[in-house]
Amino acid sequence: MSDSHAHAHPPYQRHHFETYEQQKEATTFAMWLFLLTEIMFFGGLFTAYLIYRNWYYPAFVAASHQLDIILGGINTLLLITSSFTMAMGVWCAETRKKSGLVLSLVLTLILGIGFLGIKTVEYKEKFEKHHVPGHTFSVQSFIDPAHDEATLKAVKQGEPMPDPMPLDMARKTEMYFSLYFAMTGMHALHMVIGIGILGFLIVRAQQGAYTTGHVTMIENFGLYWHFVDIVWIFLFPLLYLISRH
């Protein structure tokens, strides 16, 4: 204790902390707590999902088959890779490699934007097929699968032709898409916020702010980014892979 006080405080130590150690522990702890609130936030959505999936399982299966598993898969890969580049960034910050840090952050940013780009393509497709909940929503794909593009494509790839769904159950696909948009929308919102912060971090990293030994900012953002990835790791099987073989 007395030893660390003999030296001057590092410039990035806030005055109300006794030691830099304390500052680092406090901010990291705060970040974990914040992620806990995020878990509760998404927890409400996951609860709703689990209830309705149990109630309307056939509708959820059929609606899930309307999603493009390839686009979803690519997005999953993008995010996992971005988690890797983010982890590289943290490592570069810790070992004080400025250009490595900037490069990792830029790569993470590009991968994140790529994810959002593909998500936009997927959303657009939902609009075209009238799968967006609200007054434009149509159950046509489910009561008349023989004339539905996505179903025909799947049949061509060897899946069995599904029976037309009774109207009552087909209507429940709107619930699936409600949850789909709420969950992926909230996730995308977190991505957008993350990308915004990334932009800021890149500028500051360029100025050398995080390669002086003060790495908590990068580490904590890394935690956030990984968390957003993990949410997607849950969303992908829950939304895309219901009863796929």
Partner 1 sequence: MSTDTIVKLPDQATARMPKVSYLNKEHGILSWLLTGDHKRIAMLYLISLTFFFFIGGAMAGLIRLELLTPQSDLMAMDTYNKVFTMHGVIMIFFFLVPSVPATLGNFLIPMMIGAKDLALPKINLLSWYLYMAGGALALYAMITGGVDTGWTFTTPLSTHYVNTNVITTGLAAFIAGFSSIFTGLNFIVTIHRMRAPGMTWFRLPLYVWSHYAASVLMVLGTPVVAIAIVLVALERTIGIGVFDPTKGGDPLLFQHLFWFYSHPAVYIMILPGMGVVSEVVSTFSRKRVFGYTAVAFSSVAIAIFGFFVWAHHMYIMGLSNYSALLFSLLTMLVAVPSAIKIFNWAFTLYKGSITFETPMLYAFGFMGLFTIGGLTGVFLGVSGTDIHLTETYFIVAHFHFVMVGGMLMAFLAGIHFWWPKMTGRMYPEKISQLAAVTTFIGFNFTFFPQFMLGMLGMPRRYASYPAEFQILNVFSTAGASVLGVGYLLPVLYLVWSLKYGAIAGNNPWQATGLEWQTQSPPLTENFEKLPIVDHDAYDYEWLERQNQIQASEVSSVR
Distance, CA of 209 to CA of 105 (rounded, Å) = 14
- Does residue 9 touch partner 1 according to CB under 8 A? no
Interface with partner 1, residue 172, by CB under 8 A = yes
CA distance 8 to 178: 56
Does residue number 14 form part of the binding site for partner 1 (CB under 8 A)?
A: yes
167: number of Cβ within 10 Å: 10
93 versus 175: smaller Cβ distance to partner 1: 175
Site string for partner 1, 30-69 (x = CB under 8 A): x--xx-xxx-xxxxxx-xx--xx--xx-------------
Smallest CA-to-CA distance from 41 within 177, 228, 176 is with 228
CB of 185 to partner 1, least distance (A): 8
Q: Count CA atoms within 13 Å of residue 116 on its CB side.
A: 18
Query: Rounded to an integer, what is the distance from CA 47 to the centroid of its chain?
Result: 18
- Distance in angstroms (rounded) separating the CA atoms of residues 131 and 137: 5
How far apart are CB 39 and partner 1 at their closest, in Å? 8
Binding residues for partner 1, rule: CB under 8 A, are 14-16, 18, 22, 25-27, 29-30, 33-34, 36-38, 40-45, 47-48, 51-52, 55-56, 132-135, 137, 171-172, 174-175, 177-179, 181-182, 186
